A and B are shown apart, each in its own frame.
Chain A
């Protein structure tokens, strides 16, 4: 069973367009985190957002715990935003962070 579902699987945008990435969970969780990975690069943490709305620069995450979902909004996309965005949740009992399959974003000029 895929516990973390991400959509869309891939997304192509033109520079300056906005992106909306979705993540849904099969179980309730209060630990949600978004990560970014450049092709061939290291995973880096973008936002830790267990509930509500959090913003970091052009990134805004909204997590609705009772609906078991989280979203990541990227405003005014740039070519350097291209890469894979993964969301992750912590299962009960701690430590077992489960990842989605990711959304592959390509921003073109």
Chain B
């Protein structure tokens, strides 16, 4: 079986800091996603990538950059952390065109002080 790993699990940053979150999968999935999960708001799509070196903006891309340098990895950068921001960032992957096989990572919990 495969696995999708997010690092770090917890991230504490300072206001204005650039912060990078990483995601690795060994399913050989084509598509990878970054979501932000806030309490009471469900999941909102930040970026997704349908193949290596591809990037597509989601609904919440402002304030974030992403990078898909390898098929197996997808990183997300918070370009300038906002004070008191607290959220969970979830990475997911799926084979191309097969949403029934959507696999999530365990999340990175961000706190900005």
Contact = CB atoms under 8 A, between A and B. Distances in A.
Given A4-B42, A45-B100, A101-B40, A95 B106 contact: no
B43 A99 contact: yes
Interface residues of A, number: 22
A101 B102 contact: no
Contacts of A94: 97
A21 interface: no
B48 A95 contact: yes
A81 to B, nearest CB: 19
A97 B99 contact: yes
Contacts of A42: 104-107
A12 interface: no
B111 interface: no
Interface of B: 31, 33, 35, 40-45, 48, 50, 56, 58, 90, 92, 97, 99-107
13 contacts: A31-B99, A33-B102, A41-B106, A42-B107, A43-B43, A43-B90, A44-B104, A45-B103, A90-B99, A94-B97, A97-B45, A100-B42, A101-B41
